[in-house]
Chain A
């Protein structure tokens, strides 16, 4: 693989960039792999990447029914934070956030991780107490966060109105090393690195059956032929229930559309990410200048990846109330993505009833931030059958009532 650098770009410029090679190969499926990962989104690719990097497992195929990074990886609002309340979540998301710090260098691909800071506004006394609790928890979890005053909020976000007539800002939970990254680049960077390790990223390849023998997985049938494998990872947010069905088990998840939108681009006016849970909306400014805005999930289950309007209206209202200048911007584009939601709003990284089939799903509205950590942990789970970051996230927790409920700390989608 040719390394990317300013020098490489200069060299190529001299010959009108005719020498750039493919970012990833476009291979035909082989008959057999050690591990097949279904789903070439961020999480699936990160899982394959860490299987190779951490455990030297490189006979890996990542099969994708559409195009890589085309699901929620390419639809989310790119917020990265780890200020979670519960210990298992904080461990997983903080691992992930730490991996983001060096991802551009690790992948030799600029994913534009921007640790610009994330504020979660507290606008009711109840929220103040909730975030103070999170700050206490984070301090003991090794996650650096701080509860800040309204004055400090205003310093960090000059365009905010902290004295709104209905929900004045009472403070905020501030994570200075949270931020954003370029979502597509995360998928592309991983795909390039996986391909470089000799793994096969196979797009336009839909899994139609999961073949089992004596309760163990032996391979998958795809629209591009049968592929045998020793182990199988299912990492297909938005389609998890369907693919689990192919393996003969059911999941405790519901799939709903999550709505997002962007404004037209404007010159820089907001340097941090702000989430306002009471009024229900969150916003950051992309490097391109668009205000990237997220809101809620539709109130009904479905699989159509398209926008609906009622949540957009609620979200935009919330943001106008929080940032009055938003009223004079225009909505450029809205869209929806399908998220898998579990009963406790925490993900599932688990063994399954089928031996050697592992599943990664249920990230709800917050999966992007977890991409590298999820891959790191999932690779260990697939390779060893367990791991400290995944042990609490097994499917059996629903049977045992051992929930990891994060809705406590964050009542809104993000």
Chain B
């Protein structure tokens, strides 16, 4: 059994008991516990079920590498699946439930998969479930999906908040073990801005568990002192519970800080995502112990040797009372010593090293009375939900059992692997270190920055230095090199010296015993969570999945939530062996961010709900909201679709607004229209290139409707251009086009015409603009008083500066409705006041505000095109009958050459026409007109399509615009538009201008 001891536990505060539940059962632990240590303290070894075979699973590690201990945690809006018990700090009231079983953790029906394991080897699903065809969708797949997955899906919206921080530093040091601490201490002397982050809640990493002496003092003291020194420095920022999640190009690092996972429900954000730009990065991320591959190495109670030590030293918890240690290296002896010294039984150390002679560690073990069995291995583990014993065999051989040992835990160590993830994220390369049997960073092949300079340095165990003394030396040297990289010098000073322990070399052991038969190999786990065994990787090799990426994907090795932190190196060693090639030739799979999974909530940050994206508000926004605005999102703006009165249906509001604007007076908030200032001696020349029209001949005081095309000739935007003075234009764009067109202009200026003297500025938000539209428009403005807005003073397509109702305004005489119309621009800060004044002045003239839908109908009645309706990126101005707006005199403009291409001048291009249904009904949006027969691919031939279609309240009938083959030559012809719901709409081809063809209304 696993239990808590009455003494020990350096992280515990035994004064403070905490209560929690697991699968509804009440347990208690102490402040300082992790969920894993407190479960173990309560003898809850079984924590979950594996992914594929639903095998019973116990905790195997003590840190971020844990593959088994994943639970559903929390309730309601704080529920989260797949929470790792080894990194979850215990808090009072924690609720956790185990995952992936039915009906219960103890009795899981899914374990039948384990009984059938022989029929379900790697890749079985590619070979099965092929027939009969419909079964995959309806039977096989639903069954497989139910059986797979781990935790439950959250059901309620997240009750927590998240935030983003930006940070800039010279040196970012990731990892607060002794390597990171020493690196920070050394680097801080340079005066550089240093940030040191540690993923757990405490400093010192493994060293404080393993002990040792630094400068004659216990390592604990060294850690405490160093943290205190660093905390006192102004140029050092320290953060715990913050993981380096990913390293990206140009020294960009993602930091993931878990602020309140251990204080749920307290005020403030739960996670903070740091986006750090560092001059140089030092990764001091330590190393991870590897399991050994023997039959039954997944039985709960089989644990990594260092984790056994962690639980004992940090939490005063023993995994078992009789623990067999199995190892291929010296480090695991420390576990045996710790257990023995705590009064626990260690019946044997199975040391698989065949050449093991008299070593220091062996002597120390034997001095304690622990039996060391050199050259021995585990043949198999006894027990189902808990280890009950092991069978011992020779490491060399096929597994003939020489002895059985009763025990309730196995502590295993297959050696260590440096954590090279962050080094590798952005292209750092690895080299195989045969002496230690691990991949270590290749310092000559670092991730490189803009000038080819390395921007990541690795220090300590992550760099392959596993011993205390080596780690401190390496960290000191690493920090000096990193500081030098960014131009900081560090004066020579004495670095701390640690006591050296002699260790005998490790012998790589990838399979235990070396010649294990298939029966054993098919029970030797590599990936605990995804249930990948030695036999699976060997099968992959046998079937030709020779690339490490193929083998990974075929077997799913390393694809679980731990991303193979325990399994990858063991797996690729097995693969290499099966293929008869050296490990470095096989190589590793790619390390992808994040290091361990990070919450989506943190990635999203503050941006959710109303503030999911920036909300752009015109100065009149609140007025609209108070007057019944039914909003329509347009880019990041919200525009009123219509102003709905009490008891009114939306479409009635729209019709009312259209009719009132035609008959009396309408006000439209046009502030969202793009407004771009183009200024400079070359502005006329520039606009002649940007627009199809001639803009250089436009006189100051005049406006011109302009078309803008892409290089490919397609119409991308339109709007009225006003010439303010000889060198200054104001270009109106569509609401959606403002940013895009501004960028488009900048791109041409910056990349092609960089020597032209032109500035462009997007001043959209600097002005509020109100369209005053309708037969009473002039009267309303005159009532406001101020500038002369008569036909003579301000003719159609002219603009003038002046005052109206006391406001400094710019009035444009332009119309997008076909009515007498002015657009009045004021400083944005006066927008609301002007609007209210206009409403007041217009009251006598029947004023009503109108929204975007009325705007659309008004323009469609008049036959004006709308970017995004009549255009879709494939339409050229010539298709729309806008040839008049294309200058024939200009030598060049964007799109000119493209529009001369064969397909662009093809008479078969569909052209704009008006469409009137015979019945008066409204043709559905997006309908196509059908032609005769089908094309080479069996598709119905089509001869046109609807681009805008509305009920016109003015004409009391459906009207539409469309693009039709030979359309303008077919006036009066009737064509058919099938709807999607059976009905077909017959429509007559007519002129697209339905209202006031002569333009008498707007030009008065």
The answer on a CB contact under 8 Å between B633 and A129 is no
Q: CB-CB < 8 A to B275: which residues of A?
A: 309
Closest residue to B99 on the A side, CB-wise? A267
The answer on a CB contact under 8 Å between A141 and B940 is yes
A407 at the interface (CB under 8 A from B): yes
The answer on a CB contact under 8 Å between B610 and A9 is no
Known contacts A112-B136, A400-B902, A266 near B924 by CB under 8 Å: no
Closest residue to B254 on the A side, CB-wise? A309
Q: Which B residues from 593 to 640 make CB contacts under 8 A with A?
A: 593-594, 597-601, 603-605, 607-610, 612-613, 615, 632-634
The answer, among B136, B142, B543, for a CB contact under 8 Å with A104, is B136
Q: Which A residues from 321 to 340 make CB contacts under 8 A with B?
A: 321, 324-335
Q: Which A residues from 64 to 88 make CB contacts under 8 A with B?
A: 66-70, 74, 87-88
The answer on a CB contact under 8 Å between B150 and A130 is no
B826 at the interface (CB under 8 A from A): no
The answer on a CB contact under 8 Å between B136 and A288 is no
The answer on a CB contact under 8 Å between A135 and B980 is yes
Q: How far apart are the CA atoms of A18 and B535 in the complex, in Å?
A: 10
Q: How far apart are the CA atoms of A374 and B434 in the complex, in Å?
A: 46
B21 at the interface (CB under 8 A from A): no
The answer on a CB contact under 8 Å between A112 and B713 is no
Closest residue to A26 on the B side, CB-wise? B544
The answer on a CB contact under 8 Å between A91 and B937 is yes
The answer on a CB contact under 8 Å between B539 and A263 is no
Q: How far apart are the CA atoms of A306 and B249 in the complex, in Å?
A: 10
Q: CB-CB < 8 A to B156: which residues of A?
A: 324-325
Q: How far apart are the CA atoms of A403 and B869 in the complex, in Å?
A: 18
The answer on a CB contact under 8 Å between A320 and B145 is no
The answer, among B126, B149, B519, B542, for a CB contact under 8 Å with A288, is B149
Known contacts A18-B518, A400-B901, A137 near B928 by CB under 8 Å: yes
B545 at the interface (CB under 8 A from A): yes
Q: How far apart are the CA atoms of A67 and B551 in the complex, in Å?
A: 11
Q: CB-CB < 8 A to B51: which residues of A?
A: 265
The answer, among B129, B148, B563, B609, for a CB contact under 8 Å with A332, is B563
Known contacts A266-B81, A308-B249, A9 near B119 by CB under 8 Å: yes
Whole-angstrom distance from the CB of A125 to the nearest CB of chain B?
6
Closest residue to A134 on the B side, CB-wise? B926
The answer, among A13, A129, A320, for a CB contact under 8 Å with B869, is A129
The answer on a CB contact under 8 Å between B926 and A328 is no
Q: What sequence of 0s and 1s flags, for each residue 966-1004 of chain B, a beta carbon within 8 Å of any chain A beta carbon?
A: 000000000000111000000000000000000000000
The answer on a CB contact under 8 Å between B598 and A330 is yes
Q: How far apart are the CA atoms of A77 and B283 in the complex, in Å?
A: 32
Q: How far apart are the CA atoms of A182 and B131 in the complex, in Å?
A: 17
A151 at the interface (CB under 8 A from B): no
Closest residue to A92 on the B side, CB-wise? B937
Q: What sequence of 0s and 1s flags, for each residue 237-278 of chain A, a beta carbon within 8 Å of any chain B beta carbon?
A: 000000000000000000000000001111111000000001
The answer on a CB contact under 8 Å between B148 and A288 is yes
The answer on a CB contact under 8 Å between B125 and A110 is yes
Q: CB-CB < 8 A to A31: which residues of B?
A: none
Whole-angstrom distance from the CB of A53 to the nearest CB of chain B?
18
Closest residue to A25 on the B side, CB-wise? B544
B880 at the interface (CB under 8 A from A): no
Q: How far apart are the CA atoms of A399 and B78 in the complex, in Å?
A: 57
Q: What sequence of 0s and 1s flags, for each residue 1-19 of chain A, a beta carbon within 8 Å of any chain B beta carbon?
A: 0001110111001001110
Q: What sequence of 0s and 1s flags, for each residue 298-325 of chain A, a beta carbon within 8 Å of any chain B beta carbon?
A: 0000001011110011001101110011
The answer, among B81, B543, B545, for a CB contact under 8 Å with A21, is B543
The answer on a CB contact under 8 Å between A22 and B592 is no
Closest residue to B121 on the A side, CB-wise? A17
Q: How far apart are the CA atoms of A139 and B142 in the complex, in Å?
A: 30
Closest residue to A6 on the B side, CB-wise? B128
The answer on a CB contact under 8 Å between B597 and A332 is yes
A402 at the interface (CB under 8 A from B): yes
B31 at the interface (CB under 8 A from A): no
The answer on a CB contact under 8 Å between B901 and A399 is yes
Q: How many A-B residue pairs have CB under 8 A?
A: 336
Q: How far apart are the CA atoms of A403 and B874 in the complex, in Å?
A: 7
Q: CB-CB < 8 A to A327: which residues of B?
A: 154, 157-158, 599-601, 604, 608
A55 at the interface (CB under 8 A from B): no
The answer on a CB contact under 8 Å between A16 and B149 is no
Q: How far apart are the CA atoms of A313 and B546 in the complex, in Å?
A: 35
Q: How far apart are the CA atoms of A312 and B164 in the complex, in Å?
A: 14
The answer on a CB contact under 8 Å between B872 and A306 is no
Whole-angstrom distance from the CB of B921 to the nearest CB of chain A?
16
Q: CB-CB < 8 A to A108: which residues of B?
A: 130
Q: CB-CB < 8 A to B940: which residues of A?
A: 140-142
The answer on a CB contact under 8 Å between A402 and B928 is no
Q: What sequence of 0s and 1s flags, for each residue 886-907 of chain B, a beta carbon within 8 Å of any chain A beta carbon?
A: 0000000000001101111000
Closest residue to A191 on the B side, CB-wise? B544
The answer on a CB contact under 8 Å between B128 and A140 is no
The answer on a CB contact under 8 Å between B600 and A329 is yes
The answer on a CB contact under 8 Å between B549 and A70 is yes
The answer, among A109, A203, A289, for a CB contact under 8 Å with B547, is A203
Q: Which A residues from 141 to 178 make CB contacts under 8 A with B?
A: 141-142, 146-147, 159, 161, 164-167
The answer, among B146, B246, B899, for a CB contact under 8 Å with A267, is B146
The answer, among A4, A131, A161, for a CB contact under 8 Å with B126, is A4
Q: CB-CB < 8 A to B128: which residues of A?
A: 4-6, 9, 110
The answer, among B157, B539, B872, for a CB contact under 8 Å with A325, is B157
The answer on a CB contact under 8 Å between A13 and B119 is yes
Closest residue to A269 on the B side, CB-wise? B153
Q: CB-CB < 8 A to A142: which residues of B?
A: 938-940
B550 at the interface (CB under 8 A from A): yes
A132 at the interface (CB under 8 A from B): yes
Q: How far apart are the CA atoms of A136 and B925 in the complex, in Å?
A: 9
The answer on a CB contact under 8 Å between A308 and B137 is no
Known contacts A110-B136, A325-B155, A401-B903, A331 near B597 by CB under 8 Å: yes
Q: How far apart are the CA atoms of A228 and B780 in the complex, in Å?
A: 83
Known contacts A264-B597, A331-B598, A405-B873, A140 near B141 by CB under 8 Å: no
Interface centre among A135, A166, A389 (most CB of B within 10 A): A166
Known contacts A124-B632, A265-B149, A309 near B127 by CB under 8 Å: no
Q: How far apart are the CA atoms of A129 and B871 in the complex, in Å?
A: 13
Whole-angstrom distance from the CB of B20 to the nearest CB of chain A?
19
Whole-angstrom distance from the CB of B390 to the nearest CB of chain A?
23
Q: How far apart are the CA atoms of A313 and B604 in the complex, in Å?
A: 6
Q: CB-CB < 8 A to B535: which residues of A?
A: 16-17
Closest 4 CB pairs of A and B: A133-B926, A289-B149, A269-B153, A330-B597
28 contacts between A and B (CB under 8 A): A5-B130, A20-B542, A20-B543, A22-B544, A26-B546, A87-B937, A102-B133, A104-B136, A110-B126, A114-B136, A140-B930, A142-B939, A147-B980, A263-B600, A265-B149, A265-B150, A267-B151, A269-B153, A288-B556, A306-B426, A307-B246, A309-B246, A313-B604, A320-B600, A324-B156, A328-B154, A330-B82, A400-B901
Query: With A4-B126, A334-B593, A408-B872 given, can you name 20 additional A-B contacts, CB distance below 8 Å?
Result: A13-B121, A109-B126, A110-B130, A133-B926, A136-B980, A166-B613, A264-B82, A264-B597, A265-B51, A266-B81, A266-B82, A266-B151, A307-B592, A308-B248, A317-B612, A324-B158, A327-B599, A388-B936, A401-B713, A408-B873
Q: Which residues of A contact B (CB under 8 A)?
A: 4-6, 8-10, 13, 16-18, 20-26, 66-70, 74, 87-88, 90-91, 101-102, 104-105, 108-110, 112-116, 123-126, 128-137, 139-142, 146-147, 159, 161, 164-167, 182, 184-185, 188-189, 203, 263-269, 278-279, 285, 287-289, 304, 306-309, 312-313, 316-317, 319-321, 324-335, 343, 388-389, 391, 397, 399-403, 405, 407-408
Q: Which residues of B contact A (CB under 8 A)?
A: 51, 78-82, 118-119, 121, 124-131, 133, 136-137, 141-142, 144-146, 148-158, 246, 248-249, 252, 254, 275, 425-427, 518-519, 522, 535, 539, 542-547, 549-550, 553-554, 556, 561, 563, 590, 592-594, 597-601, 603-605, 607-610, 612-613, 615, 632-634, 641, 712-713, 868-869, 872-874, 898-899, 901-904, 924-928, 930, 935-940, 942, 945, 978-980
